[in-house]
Every structure is written in structure tokens, then in C-alpha cells.
Structure 1
Amino acid sequence: MTNPIRWGVLGASNFAKEHMAPAIHAASGAKLAALATSSPDKAAGFQAFQPDLKVHNSYEAMLADPEIDAVYVPLPNNLHVEWTLKALDAGKHVLCEKPLAMRAADFDAVIERRDATGLLAAEAYMIVHHPQWRHAKALYEDGAIGRLVLVDGVFSYDNRSDPGNIRNKSETGGGSLPDIGVYTFGSARFVTGEEPTAVEAHVRRENGVDVFAHVTADFPSFRYSSVTSMRMFTRQYMAFHGEKGVIRLTCPFNANVFGQAELTLERAGMVVETTRWPGENHYVLQVENFGRSVRLGADYPCPLEFSRGTQEMIDMVWAAEGLG
């Protein structure tokens, strides 16, 4: 049997503890081997489900560990590029939380280092690993809804009661678009394979971060509209509206957390087809796809070039807002 990829987690974030570390632990072909944190209290939450976890008291010690093959980076957004590059230089494959970079141009150094080292580096953009999104893409490409006219979506939550949250701080790369705009923007790009040609935006900011963004865009063959917010009641959906039908995803981004993954295809004659995926964990699928790419050289579903394209769209919003 092929030896599993030995993973280390670079930082004891709550998200890593609740989602990604358990996914690595559960994934086929992977072993959750180590955690880097200087806090024994934080390490305890990981050791609860992986008792033999090795704990390093610094990020540097983790990267120097010859028994670690790959690292997952869940640090604040402003540290992602720095530690992804350091991990690649240390000979580790890297799966870095989104957004990997705060500007599209910042991806270039990571892409260059990935190519120079021959290692796999990727953004942890989990939704493209979920079968609901592969199904949506296949339906669109097969012409199930005819000519696409409009893509629209919403992703919102309310964290105003947590001002210390990194998403509410400009110095840590906070804001709704870096946090969740990657999903509304990236999913439209993933399904259609198109890139925006023009963007307009209405953005509301607090303490230097966007807390509400209504973005409209022209794509070569359709119109796009989305809302992201960190100051609204929790909601999420995406819809692809064509001349002959509509594809709706009612839990597109947080499957098994916000709700059950469900896709509905509506067409003429009151024909409605609904597909559900109650048992799929896109975090586990992401780790398993990463492992197949490392071990077998399989194409990774979300290469850095795709993630760079999503950041380019976010950059277009900043330009439309007058922030360059």
C-alpha cells in the first residue's frame, strides 16, 4: 500500500480544528501528523480526535520536520503568501486557505516557486471538489438551460458582534469579498469558464474592510450579480438562469453546515429535477484530490491559475471602488 501523505497544520485556528484537520484525519491516503502552535490549550482540541499528534511550538519547527510531506496553512489572510513560499522552500506541498493572496499579482511569486520546486501548491477552494458543482458545470456545458443570460448569488452572515475577528480587521486582510466573494465570483467562473470584462460595485465599509458588496459584472456571454455581506442574516444561494431553464443551488458553499447540498434544474413544462448530496464532505474530497495529484500526478481541480483569476475579479472591484 502506498504510504499516506503526512500532513502538518500550520496554526491552530478554529476553522482548522473544526473542519480541515478532521478532514485530513478522515481522508483516504492522508495522515494528520503534526500541528504547529505555541498554545497547549489550542493543541488539545486537535489531540482530542488525533491523540498521537506531534505538536511543534513554532511554524519554523514544523517546516523543518522531515516527517511532514504537506502543510495546510489556515493563518490570517495577510500571512498566506509568506508562509506558502516558506513551506515550498522547505520542500513541503502546500494547501493554503483562501484567499491565498490579497492581490492577483501576488500569486505570481507562488506560481513561480511552485514550478521551480515541482511541488503542489494550491488554494483551499473546497467547493469545486463537491459533486454539486461538478454536476452544475456538466449541466451547463451540456446545454440543459440553453443560452445563459444571468448568474446571480448571495453569500451573507453577521459577525458584527465579534470586532476582534480577523475578517473585521484590515491589517489581517479582512472583508466580505476576500472571505466569501471568492465563492460567488469563483463559482460563476468555474461553471462557465468565462472571465469578467467589466465590473461595477457598491461597497460599504467599516474600519477599512468591506462589510457589504453588491457587485455586477459583464461576462462575454452573460450578466452577473452578487451580494456578499458580513452584516446580514445568514443566507446563500447561486443561480444560473438561461433561456430554457434555471440551475439553482440552495446550499452552494457550506454543505452540511448551512444545510444539505441540493441542486434543482427547472425547465419548460414544469419539469423540475432535484439532486441532493447529504453525505459528501468537500473538505475530505479536497484533501483526497490533493493527495492524488501529489502521488499520481493527476490534474488538480483548482490550480493556482484559477484562484488568481478569482482574485483578478476582486481586484476589478477595488478598481471600480477607486482603490486601485
Structure 2
Amino acid sequence: MHKPVQWGILGASKFARQQMGPAIHAADGARLAGLATSDPANAEPFMRYCPDLYVFDNYDALLTDPEIEAVYIPLPNHLHVEWSLKALDAGKHVLCEKPMTMRAVEFDTLIAKRDQTGLLAAEAYMIVHHPQWQLTRKLIADGAIGKLVHITGAFSYDNRADTGNIRNRAETGGGGLRDIGVYVIGGARFATGQEPVSVSGAIRWENDVDVFTEIRAQFPGFTYSTYVSTRMHPHQEMVFHGETGVIRLTAPFNARVFGEARVEMHRPGFEVQVTRFPADDHYKLQVEAFCRTIREGVVYPCPLEFVRGTQDVIDSVFDGAIAL
């Protein structure tokens, strides 16, 4: 039996409080040991489920504590690279919220630091740990829908009323493409194992923040079209359309929060086979995979090189998109 990995969190964000803090606390092989926040009141919701949590009054204090082995970083997007590098320099394994960088080239520094330190550094790209995505990847690879012809996808929510939200501020790396575009893009790359050969896009901007983005791409052998928005009614799905069948994911990105995760297999004769995943928590599964890599040396299923590829696509969309 391995000793649980001792985790610390940099910052008491809402997402850390509601999702990743509980996931670390519940994960096998992990122990939520520390939280860094300048306001002790922010620690109270964490301590309701983790009463022995040690609260640090600044980030550096947590990073210098020898008991903390791994850190989760849920800071605003523009701070991710800086604090990931600081944590690695402090000898901590790093799980950082997406997007881990603002541009793909920044991954080169992170990868070099990861390799130099021998520590695990990863983006918190949780969907690849969910069995619905692992099943989808296998079905496509096994030819369950014949030759893949086209992928469509969508991810939207509406946060226009929350004007102070970091996702609505250009200076903190806000916008829909960086926040949720990683899912429609990375999900397609993960499920197919393919990289696009050409990418185009169209963006609607508000106050220098992208609030609607349409993405089109050509992959080897199939086409792709998706959209993301922070100004539309909540919706999400991914559809993989082949010559002999269709795979549809009904809650591909926020399983259990948006609804029950289901993989629908549409076959000839209007037959629909549904595989349900009512209880799987991809945040918890992500932490457990991270801990297995640290303790057992198991290859981590979502390395920095993979998420760099998604950021490459995002960069291409930003660089070449037309304005709507």
C-alpha cells in the first residue's frame, strides 16, 4: 500500500471549492493536505469536508512546505505558466487547470522544466479519464461506425451577467475558446488519434473577449465542425458520424453536472444502443491517475505534448479567424 500523495491547492477558486477539492479529498491514493489563500474565510467551505486541512496564507509558503508533494493550480489563465514553473522549481508535481498556457510555444518551457526536474506536470484535462471517452476512442478504432466521415460538436453556456468573471476579461486570458474550446478540439483529437491538417474559424468578440467561435478543420480522411460560446443557452454534445453508424455523447464535458453521461451508438435499421455512466467522476479519476503515475510510474494518459497539440489548434483559430 502506497502512502497517499499529499496535495496542496493554490487559491480558493469556486471550481477548486466545488469540484477539484472534493475530488482530491475523495480520490484513492490522495490526501488534500493544504490550501493557500490570503483570506481564511475562503478556506471554510474546504474545511467542512476536510477538517484537518492546513491553511497557508500565501502561495509561496505552500510551495516551500516539504510535506506537500503535488499542487493543483486553479488560478486565472494568465498565471498558469508562472506558478506551474514555480511549483516545479519547488519540487512539486503540478496539475494545472486548462488552458495551461496562452500560446502553444509556452509548453516548450514547461516540457523542458518537467524533463529537467523529473516531476509530473499535466494540464487538468479531465475528460480523457472518463470511461465514455475511452469507450468512444475504442469504438472508432475498432471500426464500429465504419469509416469516420465527419465530427460535429458544441459546448456553450451564458455568463454575460457575470461581468467580473475572469472568463469575461481579456487581461486574465478569458474567452470561450480557451475555456471550453479545449474540449471540442481535444476531444476529437483524443477519440480519433488524428491531428488536423488545416484549421479555420470565425469569432464574435465582445470587449476583446471571444464569446462565440465556430471552428472548422480537415483531418486525414474526415472533416470537423464545432462551436463554443459563452453567450448561449447551455448545451454540449459530440457526434462522430461514420459510413455505417453514429456515435453521440450527450454530456461529454460536464458529466453528472450537465446530465448523465451516455454514449449512443446509432446503427443501421434505426437501432440505438446506449451505454450509460451515471456515477463516474472524471475529476476523481484524473487525480487517481495522477497519483498512480507518481507512486507507481504508470504512464500518465494525457501528457503535456498532447495538450500542446490542442493549444496549437487554438492558436491557429485565433490567428486565422474571420470576425463575425
Q: TM-score, normalised by structure 1?
A: 0.99
1:297 aligns with 2:300: no
User: Equivalent residue of 1:244, what SS?
Assistant: coil
Equivalent residue, structure 2, for 1:48: 48
Q: Which residue identity lines up with residue 51 of structure 2 in the other structure?
A: P
> Once the two structures are superposed, what CA deviation does each residue of 1:28-49 show, in whole Å capped at 9, x if it has no partner?
0000000000011111111111
Q: Counterparts of 1:4 and 1:119 in 2: how far apart (Å)?
A: 17
Is the 2:203–2:322 contact (alpha carbons within 8 Å) kept by the matching residues of 1? Answer: no
Is the 2:247–2:264 contact (alpha carbons within 8 Å) kept by the matching residues of 1? Answer: yes
Equivalent residue, structure 1, for 2:257: 257
Task: Give the CA deviation at 1:161.
Answer: 0.2
Q: Counterparts of 2:3 and 2:198 in 1: how far apart (Å)?
A: 48
Q: Counterparts of 1:111 and 1:322 in 2: how far apart (Å)?
A: 32
Runs of 4+ aligned residues of structure 1 deviating over 4 Å after TM superposition are none
Task: Give the CA deviation at 1:297.
Answer: 0.8
> Once the two structures are superposed, what CA deviation does each residue of 1:88-139 show, in whole Å capped at 9, x if it has no partner?
0000000000000010000000000000100000000000000000000000
1:62 aligns with 2:65: no
1:134 aligns with 2:134: yes
Q: Counterparts of 1:256 and 1:198 in 2: how far apart (Å)?
A: 34
Q: Counterparts of 1:85 and 1:315 in 2: how far apart (Å)?
A: 22
1:242 aligns with 2:242: yes
Task: Give the CA deviation at 1:197.
Answer: 1.2
User: Equivalent residue of 2:305, what SS?
Assistant: helix
Equivalent residue, structure 2, for 1:108: 108
Task: Give the CA deviation at 1:267.
Answer: 1.1
User: Equivalent residue of 2:163, what SS?
Assistant: coil
Q: Which runs of 5+ in 2 are unaligned?
A: none
Q: Counterparts of 1:261 and 1:268 in 2: how far apart (Å)?
A: 23
Q: Counterparts of 1:144 and 1:297 in 2: how far apart (Å)?
A: 33
Q: Counterparts of 1:156 and 1:318 in 2: how far apart (Å)?
A: 18
Is the 2:201–2:322 contact (alpha carbons within 8 Å) kept by the matching residues of 1? Answer: no
Task: Give the CA deviation at 1:272.
Answer: 1.5
Q: Counterparts of 1:15 and 1:2 in 2: how far apart (Å)?
A: 28
Aligned length: 323
Task: Give the CA deviation at 1:322.
Answer: 7.0
Q: Counterparts of 1:188 and 1:49 in 2: how far apart (Å)?
A: 36
Q: What is the aligned-residue identity percentage?
A: 61
Q: Counterparts of 1:202 and 1:182 in 2: how far apart (Å)?
A: 16
Q: Counterparts of 2:267 and 2:273 in 1: how far apart (Å)?
A: 9
Q: Which residue identity lines up with residue 275 of structure 1 in the other structure?
A: T
Taking the TM superposition and a 5 Å limit, the aligned residue runs for 1:269-284 are 269-284=269-284
Q: Counterparts of 1:270 and 1:171 in 2: how far apart (Å)?
A: 49
